[in-house]
Amino acid sequence: MNWLTSFARPKLKALFIKRDTPENLWFKCKNCGEMIFHRDMLTEQHVCPSCSFHMKIGPKERFDNLFDDSDYDLIESPKVPADPLKFKDQKKYSDRIKEARNKTGQEDAIVIAIGTLDGLPVVVTVQNFQFMGGSLGMAAGEAIIKSVEIAVQKNAPLILVTAAGGARMQEGIMSLMQMPRTTIAVQLLREAGLPYIVVLTDPTTGGVTASYAMLGDVQIAEPGALIGFAGPRVIEQTIREQLPDGFQRAEFLFEHGMIDLVVHRHDMRKTLSRIIHLLMNKKPISPEELAKLRKAKAQEKTNGETLALQGPMEEKQASLEGDDSIKIDIEDVTRLSKLAGHTP
């Protein structure tokens, strides 16, 4: 054995060894085929920088994008029977539920969170399309009703982000019953005089469109979102006519008066903040003022003053492990504004 085999050959061989690369470093845009680095995807909020195609995102990303400093509290949804009809097709419905829960880490398709948007208390409810196509079932219906009740209790606007293929067929009439139930729940917001803002994302179809998704005080859609009841292919086969270009897309619906705004995801937070502050007749709080509120909150805790929430919800405790971990209780915003020297 000489130096060629013992030294040079292994060194040269190492140059051509294929290293394992994580599969989630790059994402391919489904619209234009552009390869996007994963860090750029996070920065762009899952919007293609080349063609502005809006990709589907989950509840966590929505909450992080909307709430102040990505700071919010999740609300547990009511429990419902997992498989009321003992439904089975190619698989048992109970097995499909388990798979969806393992895939998403959620109990069902809808997640509720409460926090502040530019200082204003707000309830945000998000439908996750990754959970059985965001379909509307008993659990989703109960979650929507729960979010309405919390909004009324807290005197806060409700923002609902939809993404669904319609009612969940595995629950039959039980899922269809959620359409009138959620419609009645929305009426509670009307009676309380609270804003109900709907953000329609791709896709929003079926029984979801036929109920709570189209009942908002302001209807907003993301660019290119598919919004309708029946799909375009079904409509074409039924009426035996070719549909116009862009039919059932957000821009088409906006042109025909079905929705109020088409808003880019990068501008969604700013737009929602402006709308809810206008409808609630409140002045937005600047980042500097928000920092003052946190400081005032920390000072009160340091002095030993206990702040309690009004209403039936459980009391929330704010820790003093650091400024980033301090949360502002929703009912305290007005009083803390005075302590910080800000007049709302």
pLDDT in tens, 23-43: 678 999 999 999 999 999 999
**Residue linked to tokens 């039980």:** 174
How high is the pLDDT of residue 286?
72
Confidence band for 295, pLDDT divided at 50, 70 and 90: confident
Strand pairing category for 196-204 and 158-164:
parallel
Q: Return the CATH number of 57-279, one of 3.90.226.10, 2.60.40.420, 3.30.420.40, 3.40.50.620.
A: 3.90.226.10
Confidence band for 318, pLDDT divided at 50, 70 and 90: very low
Q: How far apart are CA 246 and CA 124, in angstroms?
A: 29
How high is the pLDDT of residue 332?
52
Q: How far apart are CA 152 and CA 144, in angstroms?
A: 13
How high is the pLDDT of residue 342?
46
Strand pairing category for 218-221 and 120-127:
unpaired
How high is the pLDDT of residue 24?
74
How high is the pLDDT of residue 22?
63
Residue 156 scores a pLDDT above 60: yes
137, 108 Cβ separation under 8 angstroms: yes
Residue 301 scores a pLDDT above 80: no
Range in 52-66, 211-225, 237-251, 280-294 with the lowest mean pLDDT: 280-294
Residue 233 scores a pLDDT above 80: yes
Question: Which residues of the chain form beta strands (DSSP E)?
Answer: 26-28, 35-37, 72-75, 110-117, 120-127, 158-164, 196-204, 218-221, 261-262
Range in 20-29, 155-164, 263-272, 328-337 with the lowest mean pLDDT: 328-337
The residue that leads in pLDDT, 180 or 322, is 180
How high is the pLDDT of residue 10?
61
28, 34 Cβ separation under 8 angstroms: yes
Backbone angles phi, psi at 113, to 5 degrees: -140, 155
How high is the pLDDT of residue 97?
96
How high is the pLDDT of residue 100?
96
Give the whole-number percent of the chain exceeding pLDDT 90: 73
For 233-255, what is the mean pLDDT? 95
User: What is the CB neighbour count within 10 angstroms for residue 26?
Assistant: 13
Q: In what order do the strands lie in the sheet with 158-164?
A: 72-75, 110-117, 120-127, 158-164, 196-204, 218-221, 261-262
Q: How far apart are CA 307 and CA 268, in angstroms?
A: 32
For 130-143, what is the mean pLDDT? 97
pTM above 0.85, yes or no: no
Residues in the chain: 344
For 63-87, what is the mean pLDDT? 94
196, 182 Cβ separation under 8 angstroms: no
Residue 152 scores a pLDDT above 50: yes
Tell me how many degrees the CA angle 146-149-151 measures, rounded to the nearest 5.
110
Classify each residue of 219-238 as buried b or exposed e, where b means 16 or more C-beta atoms within 10 Å of its C-beta: bbbbbbbbbbbebeeebeee
128, 110 Cβ separation under 8 angstroms: yes
The residue that leads in pLDDT, 343 or 219, is 219
Backbone angles phi, psi at 322, to 5 degrees: 160, 160
Residue 310 scores a pLDDT above 70: no
